[in-house]
Structure 1
Amino acid sequence: MQKIKKFTLAAVSVSAAFLLAACGNSNSQPSSGKTSLNLMETDVVSSLDTSVTVSFPQWDTLVQTMAGLYRSDKNDQPVPAVATSYHKSSDGKTYTFNLRHNAKWSNGDTVTAKDFVTAWRKGVSPKAMSGYNYIFSNIKNADQISQGKKAVSSLGVKAVGKYKLVVQLENPEPTFIDKMVIPAFYPQNTRLVKKYGAKYGTAAKYTAFDGAFKVTKWTNTSEKWTAVKNPYYYAKSAVKLQKLNYQVVKDSNTAHQLFQQGSLDDAVVSGTTAQGLQNNKNLYHLYRSGNNFVKLNMAKGAVLANKQLRQALYLAVNRTQLSKKVLADGSKPSYTFSAPNAAKDPASGKDFATAAQPKETYNVAKAKKLWQAGLKQLGKSKLDLTLVASDITTDKNVSEFLQSQLESKLPGLKVTVKNLPSKSAYNLAANGKFDLYLSFWINDYADPYSELQTLEMTNSHNYGKYTSVAYNNELKQARKNAATRSVYFNHLLKAQEQMNQDYPVLPLYTMVEDHLVNANLKGVLWHKVGMVDYTQAYFK
């Protein structure tokens, strides 16, 4: 998932017994009197309706307050939540989910199969404003619906009574269950959606929750909000905390100060603040399955449609220097668009990102030759490029580093940096008004496809207009002709290898979050894929 600043189950059915393991040890009781957890977000939650928007603060909040068909365990593997089991047809195209009968919404309504149908139809609709309707691709008719060619009612998902959900796929999908953990597939209360319409998800009073907590005292402009324990949650006995207190903290130094004061139990720090805290006993490195990178504008007529210029940019960046000297927060160099910790290549057993890594990653002399050749092809002797990035401290520092690296190593290049508020930078990128766009992506579920699909020709996140037929064909084959994980990942590997030859992005560094954590806070599920889960947390 790209956030506006600042994942194979072989068995045909899954037993509900896994749920007990997912909930943790029910005998683990907090020994302190503290039952409120103080957390931060870097921005407001503008909506809790995933068909309206998708953002880091939103998904963070939803993971604590909602339950989907499945949830992620401590190993980032899917385990049953609202679903108790599923059955997969022999052709791999139909999944029948059996839902638990004791799942309820925070207003007492029963969670039904229809609530999933309601939410998925909203999410896939061409009217959805989240830019995330592509996540439903491969569910029958999803792509045609998103393109406005078919009615949302034709989506291959239906409720059979209250407690049976049937999903029809267009092709077998080895990692389909893995996707069910992400908030885009969470249900919505059908009765309230009909009652409130566009107001659903805009304030606590217009929203219902079926997870461990329920949001209170929140509107879509709130800089502080609260989530309290949900008495109707089906696994409420596993929830030890009574309350989650959120506040928006945009400045890293402020986050540090609030942690020192005891006003935050988990403070996310970055930039120079994080650099100075690397030996702090409360610091925890969370290595996310995500990458920070630069998207290149390859649209027709754009100067970076020239491959030699793009390759020169790739080879001119000293990523080791960036991670060790500029970031100095535990970040590591990244050389592929595919992020680590998403999955292992079944053939080699290696992390997918490592298996797909190109052999040549830094060569200034070659970069200069390629740059001169690219300029000659364009009939130019010099070039001005605009780098768009957010105005948070880390992005400012990375922008300055890139500007210095590229201008000093590629003769005739001038890089103009535009550090803007996150939403403004995002809007420029989405409208193609950039040459270079500093961005990042965290895998939504444990599958490299989560990020690779964002560079398909028709994907809404393909701001740079990458148009490789070979790349798109490998992803298409992965979707349509991959009945096994081995075949599936082989196509993904070939897609990444094609990208390595085309240079549509400049990978920079893997995403690490530096958390200052209350030493007494236990039971947190620090997911590398997806959001951090505090639903089983407690203070010792």
Structure 2
Amino acid sequence: MNLKKLTVFGSLCLLAGTLAACGKANANQSQKTLHLMQTSDLTSLDTSNTADLTQWNVLQQSMEGLYRMNAKNQVVGAMAEKVVKPTNHGKTYTFHLRPSAKWSNGDAVTAQDFVTSWRRSVSPNSTSGYNYIYEGIKNATQVSAGKKPVSSLGVQAVNDHTLKVTLSHAMPYLSKMLTMPAFFPQDHRVVAKYGKTYGATSTKMAYNGPFTVQHWTGTNDTWNLVKNSHYYDKSAIKLSKMTMQVVKDPTTAHNLFEQGELDDATVSGVTAQGVQHDKHLKHVNKAGTYYLRFNLANNHALRNQNLRRALNLVLNKAQLTKKVLSDGSTAAYNYVTPSLVTDPTTGKDFGTETKNSETYDVAKAQKLWAKGLKELGKSSVTLKLVSDDTTVSKNVDQFVQASVKQNLSNAHVSVMALPAKSTTSAVQSGNFDMDSTLWLADYADPVSFFDILTKTNPQNYGKYADATFNTQVNEAHGVNATNQKAYWQNMRTAAQRLNQTAAVLPLYNMTESHLVNQKLTGVVYHSVGENDYTRASFK
């Protein structure tokens, strides 16, 4: 998932020469309100329209799909009463929904709500960039391409509380995927009422999860989540309210934490350096890789492989993580994050066994750069680097810009730090040479990373198109889906091909430095997916 970050709280004040708890967030011993932050704007609540980290973080607290991940990272029933086993050689799933499940407006959660949601998200009109995630469900690829009607998608409401899903081939990882916000239902009555404006504000939605979103107008940077009285498991929800605010600067986040305005705050850079021994600090390792997306379209210089390899070699990633980020993040030498999953056929960590052998080497980078310019018939190149306007992204951009300027002759990086909507627009329209972005695994499998780089994937904004890579991923999804040995060979070959062609430039592996209110308990910090605050409480 293409994402950004979150934050924390736990307040301190200097009183009579000692550190003591202060601020409104822990003034009340029976605190029922949790104060959180997001590091980028909320642009939509409609998963068929948008897919980004802030949206998914909000929906994680306010919606539920057929399944959810519990505190032990196990898939358990949510809207479905239990986890089911497929029939028909792994190609048919029949889910029985909870009769007690309701939307926040009192409507019953029905099988039709899943049909409506999935059809909207897989259709050619979907703008989320996530219709590819349905590949494997019968006719999904043809529907997304406009070759078949959405009604042909392999999802059927047998009756109000029975949902049947038919696959074109077995998908052993489907249960993990069904916990993702991309597969959440949408109240079909509410969708019919609001049409294209569904999810454009918090009032043009219904929520089936533990909380409901309130006071988000579509543009404001603060909103609330209030306990949902219709949630089937409301007795497990101890909080009455969450507040969320957009905080793009880590220093501001730190200050808000100290003032008691946040219970959970993420910090980075110089701010993170100063709190590495703070008793409130919690490092959260995420299965995500920050990287530079290259634009490989024919009218862009980075279609040249040697230029891409040179850029990968000219960046001292260890220096980036230690001196620029200083938040516990580690240098990335592979697109797939280490610790995501163990390759069962080798017993080795997949991200480690497939890491790129080409690392920091300025001399080699300079030779490759000169060779690439010659192949293009150019004497110099100016590269437009687009990213969001958060402090962290700006610092990383400056590091990339300075490294290129210092080490590569006839090279210049022009940085454009833009608000989230503008960044998305620039990338989707191809108005960039490099884009600073993040991919956070949707589920614990390398294919979650690989899918977005396949030729026809709607999120392949860099236009990477390599026949060998595409073949490996297609075989993994198809003929080798249930052949473990062949599947993991496909995964290793795909990873090696990305390294050989310098498809993207991995920068660093995602580690969040959270400052956390020490009274806060019950938060589930998932390494894959979004953090779950729904069962949190204050001790």
Give the structure-1-normalised TM-score: 0.92
Q: Indicate the SS of the match to 1:286.
A: strand
The structure 1 residue matched to 2:122, chosen from 102, 105, 124, is 124
Please tell me whether the aligned partners of residues 41 and 420 of structure 2 are also in contact (alpha carbons under 8 angstroms). Answer: no
Deviation per CA, 1:281-337, whole angstroms, max 9, x where unpaired?
111111111111111222124222221221122122111111111111111000111
Residues 96-146 of structure 1: CA distance to partner in whole angstroms, max 9, x if unpaired?
112222211112222111111111111111111212111111111111111
Q: Is the alpha carbon distance of 1:301 and 1:208 closer, same or farther for their aligned partners in structure 2, counting shifts above 3 Å?
A: closer
The percent of aligned pairs where both chains have the same amino acid is: 48
Written as runs of structure 1 = structure 2, the 5 A alignment for 1:439-450 is 439-450=437-448
User: Where does residue 507 of structure 1 map in the other structure?
Assistant: 506
Taking a change above 3 Å as real, the CA distance of residues 407 and 45 of structure 1, as seen in their structure-2 partners, is closer
Q: 1:376 maps to what in 2?
A: 374
Cα 1:520/1:343, change in 2 over 3 Å: same
CA contact (8 A) 1:282 1:517 kept: yes
Q: What residue identity is the alignment partner of 2:192?
A: K
Alpha carbons 1:255, 1:267 under 8 Å: kept:
yes
Structure 2 runs not aligned, ≥5 long:
7-27
How many angstroms apart in 2 are the aligned matches of 1:100 and 1:491?
38
Q: Map residues 124-523 of structure 1 onto 2, 5 A cutoff.
A: 124-481=122-479, 482-523=481-522
- Following TM superposition, by how much is the alpha carbon of 1:438 offset from its aligned partner in structure 2, in angstroms? 1.4
Indicate the RMSD between aligned Cα atoms, in angstroms: 1.8
Q: 1:33 aligns with which of 30, 34, 40?
A: 30
| 1:411 CA drift (Å) | 2.6
1:74 CA drift (Å)? 2.5
Q: CA deviation at 1:241?
A: 0.9
Task: Tell me the amino acid that sits aligned with residue 3 of structure 1.
Answer: L
> Which amino acid letter does the alignment assign opposite residue 416 of structure 1?
S
CA distance change for structure 1 residues 177 and 228 in 2, over 3 Å: closer, same or farther?
A: same
Offset at residue 485 of structure 1 (A): 4.2
Residue matched to 2:532: 533
- Cα distance in 2 between the residues matched to 1:253 and 1:358: 34
Query: How many pairs does the alignment contain?
Result: 516
Which residue type is aligned with residue 211 of structure 1? G
Residues 477 and 255 of structure 1: CA distance in aligned 2, closer, same or farther (over 3 Å): same
Moved runs in structure 1, 4+ residues, more than 4 A? none
Correspondence for 1:55: 52
Q: Is the 8 A contact 1:474 1:494 kept in 2?
A: yes
Q: Secondary structure at the match of 1:225?
A: strand
Relative to the length of structure 2, the TM-score reads 0.92
What is the SS of the residue equivalent to 1:437? strand
Q: 1:163 offset after TM fit, Å?
A: 1.7
Distance in 2 separating the partners of 1:5 and 1:523: 19
Distance 1:327 1:144 in 2: 43
Q: 8 Å contact 2:333–2:507 — kept in the other structure?
A: yes
My pick for the range that moved more, 426-435 or 122-131, is: 426-435
- Distance, in Å, in 1 between the alignment partners of 2:45 and 2:403 is 41
1:4 deviates by 6.9
**CA deviation profile, 1:407-455 (whole Å, cap 9, x unmatched):** 2222322222222333323322222222222111111222221221111
Which among 81, 99, 115 is matched to residue 78 of structure 2?
Answer: 81
Deviation at 1:537, TM superposition (A): 0.5
Structure 1 counterpart SS, 2:331: coil
User: Which amino acid letter does the alignment assign opposite residue 536 of structure 2?
Assistant: A
CA contact (8 A) 2:43 2:421 kept: no
Q: Once the two structures are superposed, what CA deviation does each residue of 1:180-225 show, in whole Å capped at 9, x if it has no partner? A: 0001101111222222323322333322111111222332223222
Aligned match of 2:3: 3
Structure-2 change in CA distance of 1:512 and 1:202 (3 Å): same
Question: What is the alpha-carbon distance in structure 1 between the residues aligned to residue 106 and residue 493 of structure 2?
Answer: 49
Report the Cα distance in structure 2 between the residues aligned to 1:67 and 1:390, rounded to whole angstroms: 29
Q: Distance in 2 between matches of 1:295 and 1:506?
A: 7
Which range moved further: 277-286 or 480-489?
480-489
